[in-house]
Structure 1
Amino acid sequence: MAMIDVGDIRLHVQRVPPKGRRPAVATAVLVHGMLTDSLASYYFTLAPSFAQAGIDVVMYDLRGHGRSERPDSGYTLDYNLNDLDTLLERLDVTGPVHLVGNSYGGTVAFSYAVRRPERVASLSVIESSPATPEWAANLGVGMRQWAARMEKEEAAVLAWITANRGHHKARQAKRAARLVQATTIVRDIPASRVLTEDQIRSVRCPALFIYGGESSLVEQSPWLKSLLPDYRSVVVPGHEHSVLIEAPQAVGAHILSLIHEVAEAGTPGTAAGTDAP
């Protein structure tokens, strides 16, 4: 475990090197979702198999999450992009990385590929979408509803989660409630600057989108395919938004295949830099 200073806060980082101390095939940076999530969702799913496959794995807790510090404010997408940018510098990761993002982490990863195309070799986006106006509006409604319910019925909600999902999930929900109550995250994230279609189109690296077969996000696939020059998609049948946790082997196999393909071919050309989203 390491705490890395990225300027205004410190982030909790875990790095898992390739097994057997062999040279790394590539570096993968794994970005988790918001509120109830943390780097633990990768530590117990993708990270071990990635390290076994010769990949240098970097995981970190987003600001306010897990063991990272929790500032009172500063939770817009731009803050998270700045954190990722500085984190890679502090870790002396100089080559292009393979970004993997789950849920909100996928939105962070995609926006980072827009901001720093020369730093991203491939994108793997799990149950997520780029930061569009629709994304911001839907997220804002969902976060406000969740926050209001937790404020009024926290004890009942936690009791239901404990009975139906277990004590671990209940603890995650309780920590998320504290984050929502003590910070401006509910206002900040939906108010983030969003991407234009031209900015989305500027992502030239291979972009793999993984969906649960029962997820409504599958509907965005034709639109993304029309914009991204190297768009790939995988649908994992029988799963919804939690496909990473429920089907880690299937998800990991598809991502590893992409990483090895790009690593063997050499880093693809990248588009010229664009204004930060």
Structure 2
Amino acid sequence: MTFGGLALPDSLELFTLDGLTALRALARGEERGVALFVPGFTGSKEDHRFLVALAAERGWESFSYSQRGQADSIAPRGIDEYSLQKLAEDTVTVAERIARGRRVHLVGHSLGGLVARAAAILRPDVFADLTMLCSGPGGQGPEHHTDDAAFVARHGTLAWWEHNNPLGARNEDEVFVRERAAASSDDNFLAMAAILRDAPDSSDELRETGLPVLVAHGDADDAWPIASQHAMALRLGARYEIIPNAGHLPNIDNPNYTTELLDGFWSSGEHKGES
């Protein structure tokens, strides 16, 4: 059964991996490799439902998962359980479980980009490349999250959602997001807000891994400073792309273009690792 009653593409399978809920789509036709999508702050596996399905149509076995404390994934108690190190270790564990001898194409959205970057630095041998989607160098995320964290500490994640949506849930997507806020861990929210505020820039460490990197964002991304994303790409020597007709969620706003961009990056000759 889908979480929050959200309609999912027919090609997606639901499963659980060590308490983390996940989506999977088998490659259509000849398999070309495996991809893993990591969601961002207040997100979940469903944020990448379209990319997982579309990438599978292009021959990539694709997965997304909800990080610990997100939606219906396992939610240990205590803010320390949501450190960047532990979140990155989860990413590595999931990648190793799905790899089956292949290197994994890793995509992290927003805060998920910081988690994915930390995972790539921790175990570069597991990954073929890294895409940071609407994500920056660290410590430069949306400033309002400090106030959001203070509100959640007092009232909880559901009250935070209701405060920001006084008209309530008016469609299927908003019903889902409300249910996700209700189910997600307050400790997760508080810890991730701190990561967005305090995570150091580890661009040099990422560059030293030798992994190919793609930095991409929507042309109207209003959540993470575009200038910092571009500067990070230059520092990394990364490929840099702007996704048209998209804001901070190109995975939702323009999934077809985003998938084509990823497909081209994953297929490019610059890769040293095995797909």
Under TM normalisation by the shorter chain, which class is it?
0.7 to 0.9
> Which residue does the alignment assign to 2:227?
219
With normalisation by structure 1, the TM-score equals 0.78
Tell me how far apart the structure 1 counterparts of residues 77 and 60 of structure 2 sit (CA, whole Å): 35
Tell me how far apart the structure 1 counterparts of residues 70 and 32 of structure 2 sit (CA, whole Å): 29
Q: 1:201 aligns with which of 199, 207, 223?
A: 207
Pairing 1:1-277 to 2, within 5 Å after superposition? 1-5=14-18, 10-20=19-29, 22=30, 24-35=31-42, 37-43=43-49, 45-73=50-78, 74-91=81-98, 93-130=100-137, 132-135=138-141, 138=143, 141=146, 143-144=148-149, 147=152, 155-163=162-170, 166-181=171-186, 183=187, 185-187=189-191, 190=194, 194-215=200-221, 217-229=225-237, 231-262=238-269, 267-268=272-273
- Judged with a 3 Å threshold, the aligned counterparts in structure 2 of structure 1 residues 148 and 239 are, in CA distance, closer, same or farther, namely farther
Q: For residues 137-185 of structure 1, what are the alpha-carbon distances to aligned partners after superposition, in whole Å with 9 as ceiling and x for unaligned? A: 947515425626965776453443524xx3532442353255354x354
The one-letter amino acid paired with 1:68 is: S
Give how far 1:88 is off.
2.8
CA contact (8 A) 1:102 1:128 kept: yes
Tell me how far apart the structure 2 counterparts of residues 204 and 59 of structure 1 sit (CA, whole Å): 24
- Judged with a 3 Å threshold, the aligned counterparts in structure 2 of structure 1 residues 127 and 252 are, in CA distance, closer, same or farther, namely same
Q: State the secondary structure of the residue aligned to 1:202.
A: helix
Give how far 1:41 is off.
1.9
Q: For residues 105-136 of structure 1, what are the alpha-carbon distances to aligned partners after superposition, in whole Å with 9 as ceiling and x for unaligned? A: 12211221222222221222211123x3444x
Tell me how far apart the structure 2 counterparts of residues 186 and 153 of structure 1 sit (CA, whole Å): 12
The one-letter amino acid paired with 2:247 is: E
The one-letter amino acid paired with 1:220 is: S
Aligned length: 253
Q: State the secondary structure of the residue aligned to 1:168.
A: helix
Tell me how far apart the structure 1 counterparts of residues 99 and 217 of structure 2 sit (CA, whole Å): 32
**What root-mean-square deviation, in Å, do the aligned CA atoms of Structure 1 and Structure 2 show?**
2.9
- Judged with a 3 Å threshold, the aligned counterparts in structure 2 of structure 1 residues 105 and 153 are, in CA distance, closer, same or farther, namely closer
Give how far 1:14 is off.
2.4
- Judged with a 3 Å threshold, the aligned counterparts in structure 2 of structure 1 residues 108 and 144 are, in CA distance, closer, same or farther, namely same
CA contact (8 A) 1:77 1:189 kept: no
Q: Which runs of 5+ in 1 are unaligned?
A: 270-277
Tell me how far apart the structure 2 counterparts of residues 112 and 167 of structure 1 sit (CA, whole Å): 33
Tell me how far apart the structure 1 counterparts of residues 105 and 144 of structure 2 sit (CA, whole Å): 26
Q: State the secondary structure of the residue aligned to 1:18.
A: coil
- Judged with a 3 Å threshold, the aligned counterparts in structure 2 of structure 1 residues 110 and 184 are, in CA distance, closer, same or farther, namely closer
> Which residue does the alignment assign to 1:274?
none
Q: State the secondary structure of the residue aligned to 1:160.
A: coil
- Judged with a 3 Å threshold, the aligned counterparts in structure 2 of structure 1 residues 212 and 142 are, in CA distance, closer, same or farther, namely farther
202-211 vs 87-96, greater mean Cα deviation:
87-96
Q: State the secondary structure of the residue aligned to 2:194.
A: coil
Tell me how far apart the structure 1 counterparts of residues 54 and 202 of structure 2 sit (CA, whole Å): 36
Tell me how far apart the structure 2 counterparts of residues 199 and 222 of structure 1 sit (CA, whole Å): 18
Give how far 1:235 is off.
1.4
Q: State the secondary structure of the residue aligned to 2:82.
A: coil
Percent of aligned positions that are identical: 22
The one-letter amino acid paired with 1:66 is: A
CA contact (8 A) 1:150 1:157 kept: no
With normalisation by structure 2, the TM-score equals 0.78
Tell me how far apart the structure 2 counterparts of residues 117 and 156 of structure 1 sit (CA, whole Å): 41
Q: State the secondary structure of the residue aligned to 2:16.
A: strand
Give how far 1:226 is off.
3.4
CA contact (8 A) 2:105 2:266 kept: yes
Tell me how far apart the structure 2 counterparts of residues 48 and 177 of structure 1 sit (CA, whole Å): 27
Give how far 1:53 is off.
1.1
CA contact (8 A) 1:140 1:186 kept: no
